Amino acid sequence: MNLIDIGHAVRARRTELGLSQSQLAHLSGLSRQTLVGLENGALSDLGVNRVGQVMAVLGLDSPAPDTLARRKKRGLWMAAKTASVSYARELGPEALEKVLASGDVPPPFTAHLTHLLDEAPIPVVVMAVEETASRARLPPRQVWRNVAKLAESLSVHRRALWA
């Protein structure tokens, strides 16, 4: 697998997840220009750590980037457990799916969502968004808009990350 093949896999997966180049660059810690170069096959070199960052956000495994292993994981369950770690009342995967699909948080779960968007590993949130889009039959881009709306309305510290 070479950098050109990785770039094609990154573009396909980013599109599948409904992320813009700017969003993915922001989530993975790369500049947009670097991501554009990667997707277009214009980069002659990109460090393995930087490639690993973008692939981890997208749930791509190496050496052959695909999502087979990721699809076996339960993204909503993992995200709901992460969101509930410090609270007596647990946010279940079904409730989290409704929140991500609608962009509205029931008052008892405001702290849970704030914790999720401020503290959860980015790949866990990406998995939850992907699973929500699939289960709710929504375009991933719409779920991402809901995440941005939630981050803004909850004034999470990492709200710029989700914008």
In angstroms, what CA-CA distances link 130 with 17, 41, 43, 148, 157?
Answer: 6, 26, 28, 15, 23
Largest Cα span, the chain: 51
Distance CA 41, CA 12 (A): 13
Q: Write out pLDDT tens, residues 55-109.
A: 999 998 766 666 776 777 788 999 999 999 888 899 999 999 999 999 999 999 9
Q: What is the mean pLDDT of the chain?
A: 91
For residues 136 and 41, is the Cβ–Cβ distance under 8 A? no
pLDDT at position 35: 93
Residue 64 makes CB contacts below 8 A (sequence gap 6+) with: 1
The CB density around residue 139, as the number of other CB atoms within 10 Å, is 11
pTM of the model: 0.72
